[in-house]
Amino acid sequence: MDLFANLALGLSTAGTPVNLLYCLIGVFLGTAIGVLPGLGPTATIAMLLPLTFGLEPLAALIMLAGIYYGSQYGGSTTSILVNLPGEAASVVTTLDGYQMAKQGRAGPALTASAVGSFFAGTVATFLLAVFAPPLADAALKFGPADYFSLMVLGLVASIVLAQGSLLHAFGMVVLGLLLGLIGTDITSGAMRFTFGIPELADGIGFVTVAMGMFGLSEIIRNLETESERSVVIAKITSLMPTKEDWKRIIAPILRGTMIGSAMGILPGSGSILGAFAAYSIEKKISKNRHQFGKGAIEGVAAPESANNAGAQTSFIPMLTLGIPSNPVMALMVGAMIIQGIQPGPSVIAEQPKLFWGIIASMWIGNFMLIVLNLPLVGMWVKMITIPYQLLYPAILVFCGIGVFSLNNSTFDIYLMAIFGAMGYLFVKLGCEPAPMLLAFILGPMMEEYLRRAMLISRGDPWVLIQRPISATLLALAVLAMLSVLLPSFSKTREEVFKE
């Protein structure tokens, strides 16, 4: 079978000592930042991206991917042991995880979460391997109009699935699209919104925006709530779950994996949403539902499986269509372009080693993670005790040097500072920056595809609904928008984000 030949190719490529080393570095760093509250994968990958310029493309991508899914593992450790989500997707894990820890069952909670994550990671990697090639084949038939509509659908979905107010998510998307257009217009060569600043001619770097909005403004937000934070770490006695525990977590892990895999493909914060959805479903259908919130092991296993599955399947749109579904994937697209690879449906055919290497590395990485997280949990616990007031100045220093090294320009340092302040202001006003970041990278692509579509149709906008693929995608976008108006949907949406 092709699939196994391809996976074998991937394993042999990802299994070279150098690639294994970068995979290990990636998942190690990922676990570390997952464990550390207040430092997420977006800011970390943005910080480390400049360091990967000198690496081989595959090694660079393997490492960056490892940081992302590694952070999903690490995030649960902090959630369970100190009741602080180490990572946004682990917020729900605090509900039952910390309760278990208080009852002296931190060990089984950690094991349930790691085993669930490993299972979910394995399944999701397999799904990625099965579904990516046919999707990429289908995507090769996409014309410019179809791509434009696909991006519209992606942005609409990210608005519908965004946290907080829909109107503001919409506003942030449009603002992000506009900011993305700053710089030289590729078709006409005209300088747009550069205000005579030569550094803006190439546009604003995505990494600069990500570091500002996710690195700097996160730090300011964390400092605001600093005094409320007290780190009391629960003791771990034994890691081994009881026989009863094992029985209870099998079904939630399976369901969590399914829900997480499906949610991960959606644009926006797929892995976060998957975790929330998996938790609320378990809470409804589990026969131990009365224990939820009081230390039910199902409430740890399901969301942790879901967030890891989602982290993995969110690679599907990026690898097959070249379209990022969340800020981390947007950085991956950036990393690929820097390495001279144009992300899109042709990557599988033209760079089979790279494509299958990344996929195989995820499975290898998941295996490394279970080893890193369970026996070495003591080391990560020590990391949680690093005081934040000593940690964040170091993050700022890495951001400063990192953003400088992108273009060897101090201008980018100033820009990052401005975006940091802007990000903080927007969060204060109730506007989440994640949809904006996604729109920021899609802005120039959307304009290009719209232009080409109009050129082909001789300026007739109806082409967007005359082509069947494009029409279907737009219809889906309209449906997604209308679903918000349904009272039952908006109620569920509010509930999900409230917890």
Partner 1 sequence: MEMMRSTKDFWSGVLYILFGSGALIAGRDYGMGTALKMGPAYFPSLLAALLILIGAISVIRSFFVQGTPIGDFALKKLAFVVGSVILFGAIIRGAGLAIALPLLAIISARASSRFRWTPSIVMAAGLTVFCILVFLKGLGVPLPLIGSWLGG
Binding footprint of partner 1 on the chain (CB under 8 A): 51, 54, 165, 167-168, 170-171, 174-175, 177-178, 181, 185, 187-188, 190, 192-193, 195, 216, 219-220, 223-224, 226-227, 387-390, 392-394, 396-397, 399-401, 404-405, 408, 410-411, 413-414, 416-417, 420-421, 424, 426, 428-431, 446-447, 450-451, 454-455, 458-461
Cα angle: 198, vertex 203, 208; to 5 degrees: 105
Q: Which residue, 296 or 450, has its beta carbon nearer to partner 1?
A: 450
15 versus 50: smaller Cβ distance to partner 1: 50
Shortest gap between Cβ of 132 and partner 1 (angstroms)? 31
CA distance 499 to 494: 9
- Given the complex with partner 1, which of 414 and 489 has the nearer CB atom? 414
CA 493/CA 274 separation, integer angstroms: 13
Q: Which is nearer to partner 1, 304 or 432 (CB)?
A: 432
User: Closest CB to partner 1 among 200 and 319?
Assistant: 200
- Tell me, what DSSP letter sits at residue 82? H
Tell which residue, 70, 3, 106, 139, has the closest CA to residue 370: 70
SS3 state of residue 429 = coil
Find the angle CA(189)-CA(193)-CA(195) to the nearest 5 degrees: 105
Alpha-carbon span 26 to 361, nearest angstrom: 11
State the minimum distance, in angstroms, from the CB of residue 233 to partner 1: 18
CB of 482 to partner 1, least distance (A): 18
Q: How far is the CB of 77 from partner 1 (least distance, A)?
A: 23
Distance CA 121, CA 257 (A): 8
Q: Are 180 and 203 contacting, i.e. CB atoms less than 8 angstroms apart? A: yes
Amino acid at 97: G
CB of 70 to partner 1, least distance (A): 21
Q: Which is nearer to partner 1, 179 or 259 (CB)?
A: 179
According to DSSP, residue 461 is labeled: T
Q: Are the C-beta atoms of 339 and 57 separated by less than 8 Å?
A: yes
Closer residue to partner 1 in complex, CB, 231/374: 231
| 13 vs 358: CA distance, rounded Å | 9
Minimum Å distance from CB 33 to partner 1? 17
Which of 270, 92, 172, 160 lies closest to 490, judged by CA? Answer: 160
Do residues 327 and 64 lie in contact, with contact meaning Cβ atoms separated by under 8 Å? Answer: no
Give min distance, CB of 155 to partner 1, in A. Answer: 12
Residue closer to partner 1 by CB (options 174, 471) is 174
Minimum CB separation from partner 1 for residue 462, in Å? 11
CA separation for the pair 489, 477 (Å, rounded): 16
Q: In whole angstroms, what separates CA 264 from the centre of its chain?
A: 9
